[in-house]
């Protein structure tokens, strides 16, 4: 099988050569380019494989496998799509589909979650931006393309798919079992007033209707947002470049450079400017970002930062600063409907920064030495070299092991389903009572919920080491005493995480009974620490201006 795969890769390139010769051959021959000679070689190899290989080979399989082999030496954003995969790609800009609801990409050749869609199965299970998906349905993802992974993750509503992920800061891989659901793409899931005179708009992605949706949202909240607006781009994976420019147009003065692109060909060098007077251009603006903010989100954040139009608050963004063009090389052939998404340029924000994060840094230089220094219009120092660094760094606390396991295993969601089925008269504004906590603990026992604390793992390692050296009754007694103390500490972890647990229970019940908008009103507006920090800056006289250096 290994030899067959090797022949396949070579044979494919040859068949590709046959497809390309018609329109490319004359040019390459005239220019003396070595690629033409290579295509002739591939043509010959394909012929020999087709005629002599021990088993009959499907030409389409050869072509598709070979193209993907060819593209593996390029960047992870350059991808080939079969007809079905190309249709799925188009879902990213409009429509709906059935799947787990998350954006994935390759980071240093590892399948990585860029962001889960709010309210989707992945989001509810606790999958986070930055999680590395190492298995899908027990199959390792090493060498997989994002489109191959997307195909595996999508499927009929109600069906299950298992994932194994590795998370930074967590020692062991995490197992998830997700139930696919209908994922509806909505750019602005919520807009409202979070405090007196402070507006809030959540932009979750850049679909083809993003500018239209956010314009309507600004019309609703803009007049009341006299103290300023919070634009939430956290976990926004990006989307259409045109929509990024159009949305920027709502905040930047007319005629300002938003982004420009540079590539090998002259036609790939373009500059995009704001075209109209801004709809929200004369009041303070704070944009929330995190590791899951990518692509178009970084264009807006970077342009706003470079023009000193507003503050960026949160954590460093993802670092996706390349432009992809979709070509149709199979048009007019038996491969009609296929597509090639190829990186043709990099984009740069007004200060000259390229947000693209390099896959590998030089080993003999420090992280600070690698950063290029740029200046905003007002003279503030900003850095290139990967992502947008916020003006106000504000990280959320990490979950402990208990909190992680409760979220990962979907316990809050399952309990909400069970509890609301038994208690049908809950009203908005309810509190999680002591009696609810008693029922929650009983629910955990019924579900055999169990997790291993960090201290338990360390004790297990210690016990194994002692057994290899010497293990007698005295040692066993000491281990037993330690085990009792570890279990007692584990019991206290529940009490220490009580606020988190109560919030998780309430959030899922609110979502179940009153929907996503109610979740924003009950939790994001009232409890989100990054939102509250932004509100604090906008409500404190001189605080916003201080960060902008005004």
Q: What is the rounded (10 degree) CA torsion for 10, 14, 15, 18?
A: 170
- 213-253 pLDDT tens trace: 999 999 999 999 999 999 999 999 888 888 899 999 999 99
Quickly state the pLDDT bin for 17 (edges 50, 70, 90): very low
Stretch 410-414: mean pLDDT: 86
Structural element, H or E, at residue 193: strand 190-195
Q: Say which CATH topology domain 190-321+356-395 has.
A: 2-enoyl-CoA Hydratase; Chain A, domain 1 (3.90.226)
Quickly state the pLDDT bin for 11 (edges 50, 70, 90): very low
Residue 10: the pLDDT is 42
* Res. 437: pLDDT tops 50: yes
Residue 440: the pLDDT is 95
Quickly state the pLDDT bin for 370 (edges 50, 70, 90): low
Residue 2: the pLDDT is 43
* Res. 528: pLDDT tops 90: yes
Q: How far apart are CA 146 and CA 102, in angstroms?
A: 12
Q: Which stretches does DSSP call E strand in 369-454?
A: 373-375, 381-383, 392-393
Query: Considering the chain, what is the average pLDDT of its residues?
Result: 85
Across 51-60, 123-132, 289-298, 451-460, least confident range = 451-460
Residue 38: the pLDDT is 78
Quickly state the pLDDT bin for 9 (edges 50, 70, 90): very low
Q: How far apart are CA 369 and CA 449, in angstroms?
A: 48
Closest CA to 271 of 286, 259, 263: 259
- 116-171 pLDDT tens trace: 887 789 988 988 877 899 999 999 999 998 888 988 999 999 999 999 999 877 88
Structure tokens at 61: 């399989």
Confirm if 354 and 321 have CB atoms less than 8 A apart: yes
What proportion of the chain, given as a percentage, has pLDDT over 90?
Answer: 45
Quickly state the pLDDT bin for 267 (edges 50, 70, 90): confident
* Res. 433: pLDDT tops 80: yes
Helix residue spans in 78-190 (DSSP H): 83-91, 121-125, 146-153
Task: List active site positions.
Answer: 295, 306, 320
- 195-223 pLDDT tens trace: 999 999 999 988 888 999 999 999 999 99
Residue 46: the pLDDT is 76
Quickly state the pLDDT bin for 51 (edges 50, 70, 90): confident
* Res. 408: pLDDT tops 50: yes
- 70-123 pLDDT tens trace: 888 888 888 888 887 787 667 655 556 889 998 888 877 899 887 788 778 998
Burial class (CB within 10 angstroms; exposed 0-12, middle 13-18, buried 19+) of 1: exposed
Quickly state the pLDDT bin for 16 (edges 50, 70, 90): very low
Better-scored residue on pLDDT, 315 or 37? 315
Residue 158: the pLDDT is 93
- 300-310 pLDDT tens trace: 999 999 999 99
Confirm if 287 and 233 have CB atoms less than 8 A apart: yes
Tell me how many degrees the CA angle 431-433-434 measures, rounded to the nearest 5: 165
Q: What is the rounded (10 degree) CA torsion for 267, 305, 529, 430?
A: -60
Better-scored residue on pLDDT, 42 or 181? 181
Residue 33: the pLDDT is 59
Structure tokens at 528: 């989100």
Confirm if 44 and 74 have CB atoms less than 8 A apart: no
Domain spans, the chain = 2-71, 96-184, 190-321+356-395, 401-526
Whether the domain at 96-184 and the domain at 190-321+356-395 fall into the same CATH topology: no
Residue 95: the pLDDT is 54
What proportion of the chain, given as a percentage, has pLDDT over 70?
Answer: 90
Stretch 523-544: mean pLDDT: 94
411-422 and 434-446 helices cross at what angle (nearest 10)?
120
Stretch 251-272: mean pLDDT: 94
- CATH code of 96-184, in short, is 2.30.42.10
């Amino acid at each position: 099988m290994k030899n067959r795969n090797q022949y396949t890769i070579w044979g494919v390139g040859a068949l590709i050569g046959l497809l390309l010769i018609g329109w490319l051959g004359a040019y390459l021959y005239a220019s003396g380019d070595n690629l033409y000679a290579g295509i002739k070689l591939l043509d010959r190899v394909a012929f020999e494989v087709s005629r002599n290989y021990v088993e009959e080979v499907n030409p389409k399989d050869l072509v598709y496998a070979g193209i993907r082999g060819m593209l593996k030496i390029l960047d992870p954003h350059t991808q080939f799509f079969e007809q079905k995969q190309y249709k799925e790609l188009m879902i990213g800009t409009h429509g709906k589909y059935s799947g787990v609801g998350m954006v994935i990409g390759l980071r240093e050749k590892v399948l990585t979650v860029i962001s889960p869609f709010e309210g989707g199965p992945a989001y509810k299970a606790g999958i986070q931006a930055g999680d590395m998906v190492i298995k899908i349905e027990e199959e390792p993802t090493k060498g997989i393309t994002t489109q191959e992974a997307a195909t595996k993750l999508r499927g009929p509503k109600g069906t299950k798919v298992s994932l194994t992920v590795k998370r930074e800061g967590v020692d062991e891989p995490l197992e998830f079992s997700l139930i696919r659901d209908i994922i509806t793409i909505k750019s602005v899931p919520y807009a409202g007033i979070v405090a007196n005179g402070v507006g809030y708009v959540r932009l979750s992605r850049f679909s083809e209707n993003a500018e239209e949706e956010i314009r309507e949202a600004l019309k609703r909240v803009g007049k009341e947002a006299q103290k300023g607006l919070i634009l939430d781009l956290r976990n926004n994976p990006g989307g259409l470049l045109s929509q990024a420019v159009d949305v920027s147009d709502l905040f930047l003065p007319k005629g300002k450079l938003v982004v420009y692109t540079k590539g090998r060909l002259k036609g790939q060098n373009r500059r995009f400017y704001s075209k109209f007077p801004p709809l929200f251009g004369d009041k303070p603006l704070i944009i929330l970002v995190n590791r899951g903010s990518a692509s178009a989100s970084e264009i807006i954040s970077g342009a706003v930062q470079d023009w000193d139009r507003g503050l960026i608050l949160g954590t460093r963004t993802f670092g996706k600063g390349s432009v992809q063009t979709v070509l149709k090389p199979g048009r007019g052939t038996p491969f009609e409907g296929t597509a090639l998404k190829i990186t043709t340029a990099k984009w740069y924000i007004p200060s000259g920064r390229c947000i693209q994060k390099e896959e590998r840094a030089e080993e003999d230089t420090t992280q600070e030495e690698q950063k290029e220094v740029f200046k905003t219009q007002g003279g503030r120092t900003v850095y290139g070299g990967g992502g947008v660094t916020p003006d106000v760094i504000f990280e959320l606390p990490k979950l402990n092991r208990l909190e992680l396991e409760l979220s990962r295993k979907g316990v809050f969601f399952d309990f909400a389903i069970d509890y609301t089925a038994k208690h049908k008269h809950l009203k908005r504004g309810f509190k999680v009572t002591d009696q609810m906590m008693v029922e929650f603990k009983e629910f955990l026992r019924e579900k055999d919920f169990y997790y291993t604390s960090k201290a338990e793992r360390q004790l297990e390692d210690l016990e194994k080491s002692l057994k290899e050296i010497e293990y007698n009754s005295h040692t066993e007694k000491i281990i037993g005493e330690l085990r009792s103390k570890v279990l007692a500490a584990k019991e206290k972890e529940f009490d220490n995480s009580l606020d988190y647990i109560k919030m998780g229970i309430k959030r899922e019940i609110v979502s179940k009974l009153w929907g996503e908008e109610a979740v924003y009103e009950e939790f994001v507006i009232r409890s989100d620490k990054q939102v509250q920090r932004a509100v604090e800056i906008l409500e404190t006289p001189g605080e916003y201006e201080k960060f902008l250096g005004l």
